[in-house]
Amino acid sequence: MESAPPTLSVDARSILESMGDAFYALDEAWRIIYANQRALTFWGATAGDVIGRVIWERFPQMIGTLNEQVLRRVREEQRVITFEAPSPTTGVWVSVNVGPSGDGVTVYWRDISDRIEAERTLRDFAEQLEHEVADRTYALSEAVEELRRSRERYSAVFENSPVDLVFMAVQPDGRIVCEDANPAWTRHSGYSRESVVGKSLDEILPPEQAEFATMQYRRAIETRMPVEYEYTARFPIGEVARRSFLVPLPGDSGRIEHVLLNSVDLTEMRRVEAQLRQAQKMEAIGQLTGGIAHDFNNLLTAVVGNLDLLQNRLTDPRSLSLVEAAMRSALRGGELTQQLLAYARRQNLSPRPVNVNAVIIGMDDLLQRSLGGLVQVETDLAADLWVATSDPTQLELVILNLAINSRDAMPTGGRLRIVTGNVHDAAGSQMDALDPGDYVRIAVTDTGIGMSPDVVARAFEPFFTTKVIGRGTGLGLAQVFGVAKQFGGTARLASEPGVGTTVEVFLPRASSLPDSAAMPEQRLTDALGDGGIVLVVDDDPDVREIAAIFLREAGYAVREAGSGPEALATLASGQISIALVDYAMPMMSGLEFVRLARQHQPHLPVLYVTGAAEILTAGSGPPDPVIMKPYARATLLKMVRAVALRTPTGRSEHGPT
């Protein structure tokens, strides 16, 4: 490209032009020395317009802006700074990454206007809700004024209003007594008109509610002004959230003789707000736990790999025993990270059509052995149950986790009931956490000690447990929630202390039937043969070194690269038999490296390595194989041999076993 400086290699230009971000570089005199096509398109300029120009002269609108301040700070402080702001040149919102480069700086940025617009839309929606409540409040006040002026219309309005209306009389002795309540109030509260008319607040409501309500009525009476307040209380119909308005009504003597109560039900709005907060919290926890598990898997890969090497080198029984104990602990750590990844919805699952009833029936012996003789297991499996999208192994773990939790909640025994059924049109069934569509429902119910509302609210959080130390990790329900979410479903829990608990798992309906038989296993041999070269690409030197040692000891030639660009340079210097690629690397991901590498070597066999099991897709073909960190020597070599069996088109005839 004409905007690239002569010293920039073809590979470097190719990388900078193919990446998704806009990019430009400045020298020590603030001259633009390079800008990729995305940057030029964003500016609406050509390379000839900008290359060699001082940025402040070419784009004077940047002077005095946050962008200028950051550029100068980066060069002065020699550190990377990231920020978000409207572009001074176009006004479009962008996310900018500025870093030092010799005496100059480099700038990456991308358009985030869609996200900013979405946030603005959400704010507008919230403001609209507030306006609607304000409008309704104003409408209610107007209705009350009309009532005061037109007593002849009072009865019709009172009886037919969809808003809760209660007419309270203020007795000479100060008691506040219900004189009448309209049908809307009785319907929304659960009280009958006969049970409240003629009774005071103290006689109608529980002590704490009566005290709070009396205080609000006193305010309205003493100030002779309308009083507005919100509250959450338990009525016979259940827990409700209300916004109430008290309007004092003076009599002929001027004394406040009546107070009109009108209420707007906020229960549904508060429920939706609580669901949103819970979803945001669970998503934040998922991001945190997934990131921790990813980094921990990198550490465990080096630990397990070195222990594996020691096992093959030591002969002293005492030393081997110590290494084996350390290996068991490290593998247990790997299991815990898999549970965290399941919660964070980053586990490597194999979604396929699954007969849920068949899985449950096949677990009968396992459940009986796991639960013991004190727990009676019952099943109610729908005969017309749809096929679900799931992973049979993970589904078994989900059901086993729920069954064991139920067993622990029934220390003296009880009944465990597993029910399956179909959910038609989730959107029409008021399943807020699910996308529209059909789902398979699995419900596990016990007659155990149950949970309090506070415990229910945190039940799906990782590491949260009410069990004694040593009885559980607190990851069981978190894994259930994460697996269900990863398949496009969800999980929800209902419990009552002293009654029991029900956990429901919803899985999407599959569009095809399950396979009747598994694919025959192909015998794996060392397909690379003599002289096969494996390119190991990983930014973690310890992980890269372990993989290289395993492969060299197995007879493979190995070349190592610590980044995508370095790997591309290695690939350009000679033919590679197979690439072992870390999926998550800084600057250039493994997926991006493979895309660029296959432009030069189209049929390059690839084995991805990951600690987070992202869903990998390369081109239009099936996903390349993935090996999860931490891995042992035998697992790595088996997967490398499996990838070597790939056809010349780069597609797997049979996936790695």
Q: What distance in Å separates the CA atoms of residue 288 and residue 419, rounded to the nearest whole number?
A: 34
- The alpha-helical segments, DSSP class H, found in 224-350 are 267-313, 317-343
Half-sphere exposure of 533 (CA within 13 A, CB side): 10
Sorted by sequence, the CB contacts under 8 Å of residue 255 that are 6+ apart come out as 170
Query: Which stretch of 188-192, 488-492, 648-652 has the lowest confidence by average pLDDT?
Result: 648-652
Between 651 and 462, name the one with better pLDDT.
462
Q: What distance in Å separates the CA atoms of residue 55 and residue 68, rounded to the nearest whole number?
A: 10
**How far, rounded to the nearest angstrom, does the alpha carbon of residue 283 sit from its chain's CA centroid?**
4
| Top CATH class, 131-265 | alpha beta
For the segment 559-608, what is each residue's pLDDT rounded down to a tens digit?
A: 999 999 999 999 988 888 899 999 888 889 888 999 999 998 888 899 99
Which pLDDT belongs to residue 96?
93
Residue 511's SS3 state is: coil
* Model pTM score: 0.37
Q: What distance in Å separates the CA atoms of residue 574 and residue 600, rounded to the nearest whole number?
A: 11
Fold classification of 352-508 (topology level): Heat Shock Protein 90 (3.30.565)
Instruction: Please compute the mean of the pLDDT values over residues 513-523 and round it to a whole number.
Output: 45
Which pLDDT belongs to residue 386?
94
Q: Which CATH number fits domain 533-644: 3.40.50.2300, 3.10.20.30, 3.90.1300.10, 3.30.420.480?
A: 3.40.50.2300
Q: What distance in Å separates the CA atoms of residue 289 and residue 337, rounded to the nearest whole number?
A: 9
Which pLDDT belongs to residue 617?
38
pLDDT band of 641, cuts 50, 70, 90: confident
- What phi, psi does 390 have (nearest 5°)? -165, -170
Under 8 Å between Cβ of 61 and 68:
no
pLDDT at residue 348 greater than cutoff 60: no
Query: Which stretch of 18-22, 220-224, 287-291, 314-318 has the lowest confidence by average pLDDT?
Result: 287-291
For the segment 112-155, what is each residue's pLDDT rounded down to a tens digit?
A: 888 888 888 888 888 888 888 778 877 767 766 665 666 667 67
pLDDT band of 548, cuts 50, 70, 90: very high
Contacts of 331-338 with C-beta under 8 Å, sequence gap 24+, read 331/304, 331/630, 333/296, 333/300, 333/630, 334/297, 334/300, 334/304, 334/630, 336/473, 336/475, 337/293, 337/296, 337/297, 337/300, 337/611, 338/293, 338/628
Which pLDDT belongs to residue 75?
92
Residue 377's SS3 state is: strand
pLDDT at residue 531 greater than cutoff 70: no
Which pLDDT belongs to residue 27?
94
pLDDT at residue 193 greater than cutoff 80: yes
Q: What distance in Å separates the CA atoms of residue 505 and residue 492, rounded to the nearest whole number?
A: 7
Please give the structure tokens belonging to residue 632.
């042992």
Q: What distance in Å separates the CA atoms of residue 398 and residue 483, rounded to the nearest whole number?
A: 8
Sketch the domain layout of the chain as residue ranges: 10-111, 131-265, 273-334, 352-508, 533-644
Which pLDDT belongs to residue 315?
78
- What phi, psi does 288 have (nearest 5°)? -65, -50
pLDDT at residue 543 greater than cutoff 70: yes
Highest mean pLDDT among 182-186, 383-387, 459-463, 612-616: 383-387
Fold classification of 10-111 (topology level): Beta-Lactamase (3.30.450)
**How far, rounded to the nearest angstrom, does the alpha carbon of residue 435 sit from its chain's CA centroid?**
14
pLDDT at residue 4 greater than cutoff 50: no
* Average model confidence (pLDDT) across the chain: 80
For the segment 72-112, what is each residue's pLDDT rounded down to a tens digit?
A: 999 999 999 999 999 998 889 999 999 998 889 999 998 88
pLDDT band of 615, cuts 50, 70, 90: very low
Which pLDDT belongs to residue 470?
46
Residue 433's SS3 state is: coil
Which pLDDT belongs to residue 530?
46
Which pLDDT belongs to residue 529?
44
HEC string of 34-63 equals: EECHHHHHHHCCCHHHHCCCEHHHHCHHHC
pLDDT band of 28, cuts 50, 70, 90: very high
Which pLDDT belongs to residue 443?
95
Q: What distance in Å separates the CA atoms of residue 251 and residue 233, rounded to the nearest whole number?
A: 31
Which pLDDT belongs to residue 466?
64
Between 34 and 650, name the one with better pLDDT.
34
Instruction: Please compute the mean of the pLDDT values over residues 20-33 and round it to a whole number.
Output: 92
pLDDT band of 526, cuts 50, 70, 90: very low
pLDDT at residue 336 greater than cutoff 90: no
Question: Do 352-508 and 533-644 have matching folds?
Answer: no
Query: Which stretch of 114-118, 363-367, 398-402, 647-651 has the lowest confidence by average pLDDT?
Result: 647-651
Residue % of the chain over a pLDDT of 70? 79
